[in-house]
Structure 1
């Protein structure tokens, strides 16, 4: 009896295969956003050796591809400039498949861990500020669509994921990435064009979770055998390789404009420069695999967090590694969010102020990708320091001609040769910069700013963007 069942199952498979209809990956479907003014890739599967024709509503030009021995096919279609005009695409292998309500606009990937994954409606006990307002105003933002790639693990790279595109509205906005959605709001409103978000992320993941097998084998000691992974990382979110294979690989053929990234909490404690190098290498890997050139990469420096000791420095040391990465990753930008944590959120790994995070990422994109140079997008940075007697004079860059305050400047510490830091007094004068003194340190050697796990300061520039944490020592 079992032999007969297997025979009919095999016969059924053969019959279905001979009548196979063009199959598309789930990311190609109704409501999708195509990258405007590009040669957007469309792909899928069909019977080996079959010709698939592709026709688009915005052009008389037709495209075709022949499937390979594994039934795979791919074509590149010229997309129109961004518009709110609904488009359609028909795939024909003798049997037609049409997708509709397609828009042409700007497509951005939302990558990283839980602070990127965190939806507009928040997580349990982790609210997002402005949720109700986002729901009430959702209909004002026409043309923002998103697709959430399911967070799954795989030992091998996957080429499809169970997902579908959603149109932003009161019923759907709550499930969108908050950081991603508020980024899209700013781009959509400023440029007046549709924005598509491809959300490929997973809470708790490390940078190693997204690096590929070849890289991990050559450059790390990460366990890549399944049993060894489970033994070392009982929490699956920390495991290397698997999330990139299962959650990011399915989007790599999709044509996108760039990537926004919010990750790092799970790498706190990494040795000096390790995270800097691996993040740089991850960006190189993604750019290689997207095959779209040096696409922009904008990312978020993690927020202050108690990390089990408010006075420890392992949090700011990871932020320092992120800052250093921004200096070596081409076509990138980093945003500081030191000011976007409320005093009562010292033990909240998911701060609630996500709108400002998304908007600061959008400032980077609007200035650097879309050429709006009149937008001030950068936080101030430490430039240099001069010490005279008991006083340190610190100069900044990217202040846009001003800092936000003359009084009650907080966040600075000074140490002498004993390497013990004490809270310092700080003031500002436009010809001298920041003037820092400390009664306990008569012969200062080093200055730190906001360089504790929970130790943010309050200095901002003329754009009201916060000063990056820094230290002048390397202790």
Structure 2
């Protein structure tokens, strides 16, 4: 009885409790009301003290019947000055230190977003040593890794801690996310925070919530049924969103970076497009921050057991279609970011370029720096004369990277059997709509009807625009 009373007394006198995300070295979103939250005794008043504007500012919030509380604190313009924040419910103060104010981005998706600067086993990145050598120049980049875990219900907290970039910590940061943060931090001259909430091998359904899965899909939602249907745990629906993403939804962020899709290759036409669009709507709803930016990565070429198959590019096509339907979004093409020897490597080494292309999207669209060219070229229209297709592209930035030796095009006639084609830059004076186009022909197809570009599991093209960004794979034939 004495021990029980002692324990009860200690519980009643416990200090205010914070989620792990609210801790030393965290970065708060600038120029907003950043949300802070935690737990205290039900009905208890929590005092939150900041010194962002040169003086102590204390705000109060009362814990609800379940002991939860949440408060918004006004943040200043980004800068390198470290701050502290103190929380006190009368049972003892808790102070967190080295808090910076900057831009905060979520790094979501599967293993190509999770892939750290130091790489995976037998999956290296090509910039690891350079990143370690340069890491002291980027100590205003901080990150927090949410442990990948499965839960049947949404979690409010996860064991994690913020880390400041340095030689000993940079290796564990998302390689694509870190390259994004490097470029944004350098260009804007501000701190950048990364929230790594991802899991290798997950499908888009792994992150959708129960209500959506129950009403819009046939995914199993009973725990035993989930395990029975999906032997590979990373393919399981619902659970990863509940365990790995739900704990971050109170945090105030600028936007979301997303790299996922390999595990949805083979999905029926249109299904991935719709579910990704709906996932973005779900996350925006749950962050309660409006239509925050969503920049995502098209999956890279990979053999998928058959180099000549087209189920990989069909998923890339769904991603491209999603980019046209999701407001305030942008898609990064990675068709050129694989080496020939990586055709059977699902984790290509060139992650620095992926992150930089994501940064181009953000710098241009979110931060208004239109001087950065961020768009890959894409198909606009095609005309056919005799045995030649004339292809017009958009987002060229007034240039293509080559006049000759263009690879990746295929043409087909009425039989829809595609043959490798010769392509070259075509231009002539006058008002002809084909003045600036790509001419494509194949000796094996005398009456072409259909055109494809880089539309094989493994068959990257080499055509780029004036920003040296690769042409999105496409096809003109419709099933």
- Report the TM-score range of the alignment, normalised by the length of the smaller protein: over 0.9
**Structure 2 spans left out of the alignment, 5+ residues:** 428-434
Matched, 1:84 2:80: yes
The equivalences for 1:120-139 within 5 A come to 120-139=117-136
Residue 20 of structure 1: how far off its partner (Å): 1.8
Could you tell me whether the CA contact under 8 Å between 1:393 and 1:432 is conserved in 2? no
Residue 16 of structure 1: how far off its partner (Å): 2.6
Could you tell me whether the CA contact under 8 Å between 1:139 and 1:168 is conserved in 2? yes
276, 280, 289: which one aligns with 1:283: 280
Residue 10 of structure 1: how far off its partner (Å): 4.8
Q: Which residue of 2 aligns with 1:199?
A: 196
TM-score (norm 1): 0.98
Q: Which residue of 1 aligns with 2:71?
A: 75
Deviations 1:232-289 (A, max 9, x none): 1111000000000000000000000000000000000000000000000000000000
Deviations 1:140-176 (A, max 9, x none): 1130000000000000000000000000000000000
Could you tell me whether the CA contact under 8 Å between 2:206 and 2:240 is conserved in 1? yes
Residue 9 of structure 1: how far off its partner (Å): 6.7
Matched, 1:119 2:116: yes
286, 291, 301: which one aligns with 1:304: 301
- Once residues 186 and 443 of structure 2 are traced to their aligned partners in structure 1, the CA distance between those partners, rounded to angstroms, is 50
- Once residues 212 and 16 of structure 1 are traced to their aligned partners in structure 2, the CA distance between those partners, rounded to angstroms, is 37
Residue 14 of structure 1: how far off its partner (Å): 2.2
Q: Which residue of 2 aligns with 1:455?
A: 459
Deviations 1:339-367 (A, max 9, x none): 00000000000000000000000000000
Residue 58 of structure 1: how far off its partner (Å): 1.7
The equivalences for 1:71-220 within 5 A come to 71-94=67-90, 95-220=92-217
Could you tell me whether the CA contact under 8 Å between 1:386 and 1:393 is conserved in 2? yes
SS at match of 2:186: helix
Matched, 1:64 2:60: yes
Matched, 1:27 2:24: no
Distance 1:197 1:461, change over 3 A: same
- Once residues 68 and 364 of structure 1 are traced to their aligned partners in structure 2, the CA distance between those partners, rounded to angstroms, is 41
Q: May I ask how many residue pairs the two structures share in their alignment?
A: 469
Matched, 1:443 2:441: no
- Once residues 194 and 2 of structure 2 are traced to their aligned partners in structure 1, the CA distance between those partners, rounded to angstroms, is 44
**Structure 1 spans left out of the alignment, 5+ residues:** 1-6
Distance 1:9 1:342, change over 3 A: farther
Could you tell me whether the CA contact under 8 Å between 2:51 and 2:57 is conserved in 1? no
Q: Judge which range, 109-118 or 91-100, deviates more.
A: 91-100
Matched, 1:368 2:365: yes
- Once residues 185 and 103 of structure 1 are traced to their aligned partners in structure 2, the CA distance between those partners, rounded to angstroms, is 16
- Once residues 13 and 344 of structure 1 are traced to their aligned partners in structure 2, the CA distance between those partners, rounded to angstroms, is 62
SS at match of 2:438: strand
Matched, 1:17 2:17: no
300, 313, 319: which one aligns with 1:322: 319
Residue 62 of structure 1: how far off its partner (Å): 1.7
Could you tell me whether the CA contact under 8 Å between 1:415 and 1:446 is conserved in 2? yes
Q: After the TM superposition, list the runs of 4 or more consecutive aligned residues in structure 1 that deviate by more than 4 angstroms.
A: 7-10
- Once residues 432 and 331 of structure 1 are traced to their aligned partners in structure 2, the CA distance between those partners, rounded to angstroms, is 30
Q: Which residue of 2 aligns with 1:248?
A: 245
SS at match of 2:180: helix
TM-score (norm 2): 0.97
- Once residues 298 and 192 of structure 1 are traced to their aligned partners in structure 2, the CA distance between those partners, rounded to angstroms, is 21
